[in-house]
């Protein structure tokens, strides 16, 4: 039955050079759908707990969903799943652009990459022609240079590329994969896993544009409905259509959720315009949309900046997360963020983790907590040139950059002296640029997410401040519902910015899309629960080796949990009114998510997941 998938994957063993085409597991669409769900299933089934994320046993799962390459718009994203070298836990990371649809056009739903190549290589996929190519001479190139070199090497000027830069080659724990010159699967160190396998990237060119779906006519009608709703969003001048995510900078500052000087504050007040939407107006920009996107949030500069290595290189407009974690958190100017963004893209570094780690180092420098051997390299908040130099040091692991390349958690453990109290991470993953002290119960999402403190794992719907209300079952129910919507969006796959169409994409919409694309009749919330549970199950196996339960790791940074914001509308607000309030919120969520009071899945849910996975 046509279900939006080709129902086949490619297994590529870099140690043996074996390439094998396999069928997808039966009933996968009914159990885990695709995208994140498919990746989580394969990784859990194939990895033993305790393996080294940078060792030969770790695997990279590149996955698509039933909607990639179909008539449905806003589906340009793809997913990569692996065991994170930054956290040692389950990791899924996503990026927009063209890679996902192109992999489907080549005839595959997923790639499983395993083993370690003897020397640097890249994978080329041209429909049925799949090769592991020598790339020794390409080692050391930036992501932008590799992207052009891969296309030239395989004589495919329109191939879609995933590549790592020097940061991935040097196995920086938060190195990312870059595609289309500026789109990144950024979180958790996937670039380091590529680097550990001597894999410099993947080039894809497909020609099978006819993706089989269950009910094409109904899916066409739904696609038209989404386009009309997107047009309504544009008509009302929704911020996403105007300038993209940079508009969120002002919004975040107004809500007291902006990271300022390593989350010491939550707002820039009247100074927000220096880094927000207004700052872009001094430049020439143009839209650079993902495949078949009617929202078109991404923008690139038309200006020819002197810092670019080549005139034809793309300098992308920094997204909100970069503006927050590089800009306001490190207290540097907008033009510095623009240059830093170019460096991050060409080196292949996650802007969130890079900015957070540098902001932590800045605060340590100002408080006199930097060990003597690194004191000559100290930088303080507002050191524009120092920040740019530090990005390069991190990418190449030079000087203090070698330590910072391990991430905030590890650096705080090395520096000690109480610096752990302002190390802003959850489970080792640096926190996104949205302070939960400015949003009721958002801290529960960060604390319980399998990957760590990601902003893309569902938010509670309440706009209230934590200081004004205790967490209730009703609030947690909205969080669980939004988590489910995010899980399905990441597994179908459709963009998260469908919240900007009018009316916004909801659970009924994705249920319809699922049924019309795949023919599946199962309640998508049951599938969402399975995806949530399998990622927690993966982490439970890791925690068990440490003789811990999952709940031990469901926590927040000390600053966020115990220190109130000093200014703004959220003045006096912590993430929760008390530790008891936080623990009560966890209790509500655990009950709704089929967990015991200690955060582990209950016995029945463990048995169900193990049965689905075949363990």
Ordered DSSP codes for 162-230: EE--HHHHTT-TTB-EEETTTEEE-GGGHHHHHHHTTEEEEEEE--------S-HHHHHHHHHHHHHHH
pLDDT, position 312: 85
**Domain carrying residue 243:** 236-430
Q: Are residues 292 and 192 in the same domain?
A: no
- Lowest model confidence (mean pLDDT) among 159-163, 207-211, 600-604: 207-211
Decide if 217 is inside a domain. no
pLDDT band for position 26 (cuts 50, 70, 90): confident
In whole angstroms, give the CA distance from residue 448 to residue 454: 10
DSSP string, 537-580: HHHHHHHHHTT--GGGG----HHHHH----SSTTTT--SSSSHH
Q: Are residues 440 and 426 in the same domain?
A: no
CATH code: domain of residue 394: 1.10.569.10
Domain boundary among 430, 446, 465: 430
SS3 category, 429? strand
CB 50 within 8 A of CB 542: yes
Averaged pLDDT for residues 434-448: 98
CB 285 within 8 A of CB 299: yes
Query: How many helices (H) and strands (E) would you count in the chain?
Result: 23, 16
Q: What is the pLDDT of residues 67-113, one digit of tens each?
A: 999 999 999 999 999 999 999 999 999 999 999 999 999 999 999 99
pLDDT of 199 above 80: yes
SS3 category, 385? helix
- Mean pLDDT (the chain, rounded): 96
Q: Are residues 381 and 478 in the same domain?
A: no
Q: Are residues 280 and 397 in the same domain?
A: yes
Q: Are residues 187 and 327 in the same domain?
A: no
In whole angstroms, give the CA distance from residue 467 to residue 453: 21
The count of structural domains within the chain is 3
Decide if 216 is inside a domain. no
Q: Which of 440, 439, 411 is nearest to 425 (CA)?
A: 411
Averaged pLDDT for residues 175-184: 95
CB 615 within 8 A of CB 45: yes
pLDDT, position 473: 98
SS3 category, 96? coil
CB 119 within 8 A of CB 111: no
- Distance in Å from the first CA to the final CA of the chain: 27
pLDDT, position 184: 96
Q: E strands along 75-128, which residues?
A: 78-83, 90-95, 110-114, 121-126
User: 82 - beta bridge partners?
Assistant: 91
pLDDT, position 1: 67
Averaged pLDDT for residues 463-486: 97
Decide if 213 is inside a domain. no
In the sheet that holds 18-23, the strands lie side by side as: 18-23, 8-13, 110-114, 60-63, 78-83, 90-95
Quick one: DSSP state of residue 18? E
CATH code: domain of residue 546: 1.10.599.10
pLDDT of 263 above 80: yes
Task: Kindly give the pairing relationship between strand 177-179 and strand 285-287.
Answer: unpaired
Decide if 3 is inside a domain. no
In whole angstroms, give the CA distance from residue 112 to residue 80: 10
Q: Are residues 196 and 319 in the same domain?
A: no
Q: What are phi and psi of 595, to 5 degrees?
A: -115, 160
Torsion of CA 484, 490, 493, 498, to 10 degrees: 70
CATH code: domain of residue 19: 3.60.9.10
Max Cα-Cα span within the chain: 68
Q: Quick check: pTM over 0.75?
A: yes
Helix/strand/coil (H/E/C) assignment for every residue in 282-331: CCCEEECCCCCCCCCCCEEECCCCCCCCCCCCCCECCCHHHHHHHHHCCC
CB 452 within 8 A of CB 188: yes
Q: What is the pLDDT of residues 533-584, one digit of tens each?
A: 999 999 999 999 999 999 999 999 999 999 999 999 999 999 999 999 999 9
Domain boundary among 430, 447, 462: 430
Q: Are residues 508 and 469 in the same domain?
A: yes
Decide if 210 is inside a domain. no
Task: Kindly give the pairing relationship between strand 8-13 and strand 110-114.
Answer: parallel
Averaged pLDDT for residues 17-44: 96
Q: Are residues 530 and 569 in the same domain?
A: yes
In whole angstroms, give the CA distance from residue 359 to residue 327: 10
Question: b/e for 52-77, b at 16 or more Cβ within 10 A?
Answer: ebbeeebbbbbbbbbbbbbbbbbbbb
Q: What is the pLDDT of residues 376-399, one digit of tens each?
A: 999 999 999 999 999 999 999 999
Q: Which of 357, 340, 314, 356 is nearest to 392 (CA)?
A: 340
Q: Are residues 260 and 291 in the same domain?
A: yes
Decide if 405 is inside a domain. yes
pLDDT, position 279: 92
In whole angstroms, give the CA distance from residue 355 to residue 323: 9
In whole angstroms, give the CA distance from residue 577 to residue 558: 14
CB 80 within 8 A of CB 61: yes
Task: Kindly give the pairing relationship between strand 121-126 and strand 199-205.
Answer: parallel
In whole angstroms, give the CA distance from residue 595 to residue 606: 9
Decide if 280 is inside a domain. yes
CB 67 within 8 A of CB 3: no
Q: Are residues 301 and 420 in the same domain?
A: yes
| Preceding peptide of 331 cis, ω within 30° | no
pLDDT, position 501: 94
Q: Are residues 564 and 418 in the same domain?
A: no
pLDDT of 269 above 80: yes
For 160, what's the count of Cα atoms within 13 Å in the CB-facing half-sphere?
25
Domain boundary among 154, 186, 205: 205
- The Cβ of residue 376 has, within 10 Å, a number of other Cβ atoms equal to 9
Q: Residue count of the chain, please give it.
A: 615
Decide if 1 is inside a domain. no
pLDDT, greater one: 140 or 311: 140
In whole angstroms, give the CA distance from residue 209 to residue 106: 8
- Report residue 131 as tokens: 């090769």
In whole angstroms, give the CA distance from residue 32 to residue 373: 50
Averaged pLDDT for residues 3-17: 96
Q: Crossing angle for the helix pair 351-366 and 384-396, nearest 10 degrees?
A: 120
Percent of the chain with pLDDT over 90: 93
Q: Are residues 342 and 454 in the same domain?
A: no
- Vertex 364: Cα angle to 358 and 366 (nearest 5): 105
């Amino acid at each position: 039955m046509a279900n939006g998938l080709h129902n086949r994957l490619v297994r590529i063993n870099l140690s043996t050079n074996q390439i094998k085409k396999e069928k997808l597991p039966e009933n996968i669409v009914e159990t885990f759908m695709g995208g994140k769900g498919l990746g989580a299933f394969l990784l859990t089934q194939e990895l033993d707990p305790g393996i080294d994320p940078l060792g030969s046993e770790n695997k990279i799962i590149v996955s698509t969903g039933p909607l990639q390459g179909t008539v449905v718009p806003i589906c340009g994203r793809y997913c990569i799943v692996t065991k994170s070298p930054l956290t040692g836990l389950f990791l899924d990371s996503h990026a927009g652009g063209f890679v996902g649809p192109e992999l489907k056009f080549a005839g595959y739903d997923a790639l499983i990459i395993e083993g370690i190549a003897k020397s640097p290589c890249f994978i080329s996929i041209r429909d049925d022609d799949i090769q592991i190519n020598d790339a020794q001479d390409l080692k050391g190139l930036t992501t932008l240079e590799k992207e052009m070199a891969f296309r030239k090497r395989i004589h495919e000027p329109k191939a879609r590329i995933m590549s790592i830069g020097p940061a991935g080659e040097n196995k920086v724990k938060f190195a990312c994969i870059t595609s289309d010159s500026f789109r990144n699967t950024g979180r958790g160190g996937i670039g380091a896993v590529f680097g550990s396998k001597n894999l410099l990237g993947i080039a894809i060119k497909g020609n099978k544009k006819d993706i089989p779906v269950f009910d094409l006519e109904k899916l066409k009608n739904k696609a038209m409905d989404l386009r009309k709703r997107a047009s309504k969003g544009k008509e009302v001048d929704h911020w996403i259509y105007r300038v993209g995510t940079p508009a969120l900078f002002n919004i975040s500052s107004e809500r007291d959720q902006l990271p300022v000087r390593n989350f010491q504050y939550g707002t820039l007040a009247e100074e927000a315009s220096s880094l927000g939407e207004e700052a872009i107006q001094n430049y020439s920009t143009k839209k650079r949309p993902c495949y078949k996107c009617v929202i078109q949030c991404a923008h690139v500069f038309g200006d020819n900046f002197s810092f670019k290595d080549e005139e034809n290189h793309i300098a992308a407009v920094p997204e909100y997360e970069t503006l927050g974690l590089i800009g306001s958190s490190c207290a540097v100017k907008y033009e510095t963020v623009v240059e830093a963004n170019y460096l991050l893209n060409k080196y292949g570094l996650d802007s969130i983790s890079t900015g957070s780690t540098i902001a932590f180092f800045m605060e340590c420098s100002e408080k006199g907590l930097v060990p003597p051997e690194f004191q000559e390299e100290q930088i303080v908040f507002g050191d524009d040139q120092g920040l740019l130099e530090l990005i390069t040091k991190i990418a190449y692991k030079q000087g203090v950059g070698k330590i910072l390349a391990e991430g905030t958690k590890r650096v705080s453990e090395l520096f000690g002296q109480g610096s752990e109290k302002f190390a802003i991470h959850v489970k080792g993953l640096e926190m996104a640029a949205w302070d939960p002290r400015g949003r009721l119960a958002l801290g529960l999402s960060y604390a319980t997410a399998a990957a760590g403190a990601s902003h893309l794992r569902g938010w509670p719907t309440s706009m209230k401040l934590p200081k004004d209300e205790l967490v209730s079952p009703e609030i947690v129910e909205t969080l669980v519902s939004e988590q489910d919507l995010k899980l399905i969006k990441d597994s179908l796959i459709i963009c998260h910015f469908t919240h900007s169409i009018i009316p916004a994409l909801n659970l009924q919409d994705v249920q319809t899309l699922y049924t019309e694309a795949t023919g599946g009749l199962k309640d998508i919330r049951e599938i969402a629960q399975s995806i949530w549970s399998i990622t927690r199950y993966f982490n439970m196996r890791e925690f068990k080796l440490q003789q811990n339960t999952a709940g031990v790791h469901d926590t927040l940074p000390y600053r966020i949990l115990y220190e109130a914001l000093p200014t703004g509308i959220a003045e006096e607000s912590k993430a929760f009114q008390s530790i008891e309030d936080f623990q009560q919120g966890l209790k509500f969520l655990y009950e709704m998510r089929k967990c015991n009071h200690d955060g582990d899945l209950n016995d029945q849910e463990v048995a169900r997941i193990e049965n689905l996975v075949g363990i």
